[in-house]
Amino acid sequence: MSTEIDYSETEHAGFEQRLRRELEQVTVRVPADMIPRAHRGYRRRLVTTRISAITGGAAVIAGAATIVAMTGSSPGVAQGGQRPGATTSHATASGIPAASTLPPPPGDGLTSAQAGHEISWVRTSLTSPAGATSVSDTFSYGPTSRTLGFSEKGTALYDEQETLVTGAGGSQTYATTSVSYAGGTVSRGTTPGPVQHHQPPLCPQTRQFGLSVISTSTLIASAAALLACPGVTVTRGVRIDGVKAVTISTVAIHVRTTDWLNAATDMPIQTTIVPYDPNLPNTIYTTRIQYGFLPPTAANLRYLSTYVPPGFRNLPSPTSSVPPGFKNRSSASASDRPR
Amino acid sequence: METDPGGSDPAPQPVAVLEELLVSRGERLLHAAVLLTGSHADGEDLLQAALERVYKRWQRIDGDPEGYLRTTLYHLAADGWRRKGMLRARLGLLARADVQLDETTSVDDRDQLVRLLRELPAGQRTAIVLRYWEELSEAESARLMGCSVGYVKSAASRGLRRLRELRAAQADSPVTEPGRI
């Protein structure tokens, strides 16, 4: 039997052992606000068709995803307040709002029912502990929503549109278009549609988790109920952006969340989420969400269309959304809950 | 907690379940994410992206949320995570370059191999982490990556070979100051 040592095998084994050792040696610390941040990211995406569905306004479009163009402004919408520095909202040819425009806050004449006939515009500004702010804008009308992301310098980073499509037999899917300015790419695909799910009672949620877990659509539909929840702080007689307002506020999950509502209609004007734990290092971001509503004129409807700059290359559709081995539930049932 | 008028218990909220998961398993998950991306900042971004997906699909999860989160993490990593730049911007993490790194985020000479991981294509990097850190079998790695066993074998093999080449090239180069991930 040969006793010659296979140096390559020994070297190989030694390298692998060293790799295992070094992979194990990396130290990490989990930031305290990962879950609130994930929820905020998810919450931005909730500003979709649910606003229209809950307020019972806009039409659901079946078949091919088209946007019905309307002319003129919605009747009966009183002029809202003016955000400092806001100019008239004019969609450019690309449907990307100019840097100087801000979502017009809901005035005293805009009820939640009327808001269902408007284009909602939600601007989220995230400010890091170092003071840099990045912005995203989400526009929603009927079955379509579009989200644009901007760097702290104001340059466009991404542009994503999602349209709910109802096919034959009532099955629903989302048709998606995603533009990446960083990569110079555009991808199109479909993802599974929404499933009905059990809505947990409102007040226990706020008592345990605070207002930061309340979605925008819930805020619009249930503001009056939220004002009455135990554990929230309500302050009346304030003003914001030229509008008489009432605030509701909670402290939970290391953050203080404050919602400003129009005092006459309870429509949301602004939400802020700020760090609230002096024992934590200052690594938590500050969030400001501004809500606005636009009449669905032909010009404003341009905000809902993704703009693909010339020369951007097409990418294949994203991979399957549900990892293998997990059941894909599609039926609506109150018993469909995660274990 | 109050129950709904229908009499059935309210659904466990993703916030509560995920908070508990991060307390018990967060370091392990973030460790995986850092290895998969080669940097602490990108690793946080990747784990954040996976958490957002879990939120989005919460009502459709019919299994262990940790398993779903891990699988999502590895799927994103194996796909090369095309949205990396968008997510960082979305969370305002572009400012991170200005943040002074403390000792818990810096990596010294001992972790050069880990930094070299960043030089590998996403698929090879993911296969290496699954096989040599998670110590999963080829079949289990293939399931997590959503690919074939053959791909895992070849990706891990090519990745190892490339790491050795990079390491050898580094050893031949002049000594540089330890960088930071």
Helix axes B149-172, B122-132, angle to 10 degrees: 100
What are residue A164's phi and psi, to 5 degrees?
-80, 125
Q: Is it the case that residue A24 has pLDDT exceeding 90?
A: no
A114 touches A52 (CB < 8 A): no
Q: Do A323 and B113 touch (CB under 8 A)?
A: no
Is pLDDT larger for residue A275 or for residue A197?
A: A275
> Which residue, A54, A337, A95, A158, is CA-closest to B4?
A337
* B86: contact with A, CB 8 A cutoff: yes
| DSSP per-residue string spanning A151-207 | -TT--EEEEEEEEEEE-GGG-EEEEEEEEETTTTEEEEEEEE---------HHHHHH
Is pLDDT larger for residue A208 or for residue A325?
A: A208
* B101: contact with A, CB 8 A cutoff: no
Both tokens of residue A82? 């003016």
Q: Do B89 and A320 touch (CB under 8 A)?
A: no
Q: Is the dihedral of CA A149, A153, A155, A157 positive or negative?
A: negative
Task: Please give, rounded to a whole number of angstroms, the shortest distance from the CA of B91 to a CA of chain A.
Answer: 6
Q: What percent of chain B has pLDDT over 90?
A: 9
Chain-centroid distance, C-alpha A118: 18
* B128: contact with A, CB 8 A cutoff: yes
Is pLDDT larger for residue B2 or for residue B83?
A: B83
Residues of B in contact with A321 (CB under 8 A): 53, 57
Query: Residue A334 is nearest to which of B8, B12, B93, comparing CB atoms?
Result: B8
CA separation for the pair A168, A190 (Å, rounded): 16
Task: Pick the residue from chain B with its C-alpha nearest to A159.
Answer: B86
pLDDT per residue over A148-162, tens digit each? 888 777 788 888 898
SS3 per residue for chain B: CCCCCCCCCCCCCHHHHHHHHHHHHHHHHHHHHHHHHCCHHHHHHHHHHHHHHHHHCHHHCCCCHHHHHHHHHHHHHHCCCCCHHHHHHHCCHHHHHHCCCCCCCCCCHHHHHHHHHCCCCHHHHHHHHHHHCCCCCHHHHHHHHCCCHHHHHHHHHHHHHHHHHHHHHHHHCCCCCCCCC
Angle value at C-alpha A25, between A19 and A30, nearest 5 degrees: 130
Label residue B131 left, alpha or beta by phi (over 0 means left) and psi (-120 to 50 means alpha).
alpha
Please report the number of interchain residue pairs, chain A to chain B, with beta-carbon separation below 8 angstroms.
Answer: 224
A112 touches A220 (CB < 8 A): yes
pLDDT per residue over A216-272, tens digit each? 777 888 888 888 898 899 999 999 988 899 999 988 767 788 999 999 999 999 999
Query: Residue A26 is nearest to which of B48, B55, B107, comparing CB atoms?
Result: B107
The whole model's pTM is what? 0.56
List, in order, residues 6 or more apart from A317 with CB less than 8 Å away. Answer: A187, A188, A189, A190
pLDDT per residue over A112-142, tens digit each? 888 888 899 988 888 877 787 888 888 999 8
CA separation for the pair B33, B51 (Å, rounded): 12
Query: Residue A326 is nearest to which of B16, B62, B144, comparing CB atoms?
Result: B62
> Which residue, B111, B47, B38, is CA-closest to B76?
B47
pLDDT per residue over B138-165, tens digit each? 988 888 887 888 889 999 999 999 888 8
* B132: contact with A, CB 8 A cutoff: yes
Residues of A in contact with B18 (CB under 8 A): 35, 38
Both tokens of residue B100? 């002074």
Query: Residue A34 is nearest to which of B47, B72, B98, comparing CB atoms?
Result: B47
Query: Residue B13 is nearest to which of A209, A320, A339, comparing CB atoms?
Result: A209
Q: Do B17 and A338 touch (CB under 8 A)?
A: yes
Residues of A in contact with B100 (CB under 8 A): none
Query: Residue A134 is nearest to which of B47, B71, B89, comparing CB atoms?
Result: B89
> Which residue, A223, A225, A153, A158, is CA-closest to A186?
A158
- Show which of residues 139-158 on chain B sit within 8 Å of chain A, judged by CB atoms: 143-144, 146
Q: For residue B54, what pLDDT is reported?
A: 83
Q: Do B60 and A322 touch (CB under 8 A)?
A: yes
Q: Do B2 and A201 touch (CB under 8 A)?
A: yes
Task: Pick the residue from chain B with its C-alpha nearest to A200.
Answer: B10
Q: Can you tell me the mean pLDDT for B85-92?
A: 37
CA separation for the pair A300, A71 (Å, rounded): 10
Task: Please give, rounded to a whole number of angstroms, the shortest distance from the CA of A18 to a CA of chain B.
Answer: 9
pLDDT per residue over B98-135, tens digit each? 333 333 333 444 457 777 888 888 888 899 999 998 98
Residues of B in contact with A34 (CB under 8 A): 22, 26, 44, 47-48, 51
Interface test with B, best of A11, A35, A136, A321 (most B CBs within 10 A): A35
Q: Do A128 and B63 touch (CB under 8 A)?
A: no
Q: Is it the case that residue A10 has pLDDT exceeding 60?
A: yes
Query: Residue A23 is nearest to which of B3, B91, B133, comparing CB atoms?
Result: B133
Q: Is the dihedral of CA A131, A40, B56, A217 positive or negative?
A: negative
Q: Is the dihedral of CA B12, B16, B18, B24 positive or negative?
A: negative
Q: For residue A253, what pLDDT is reported?
A: 67
Q: Do A35 and B51 touch (CB under 8 A)?
A: yes
B176 band by pLDDT with thresholds 50, 70 and 90:
very low
pLDDT per residue over B18-47, tens digit each? 888 888 888 899 999 988 887 787 888 889
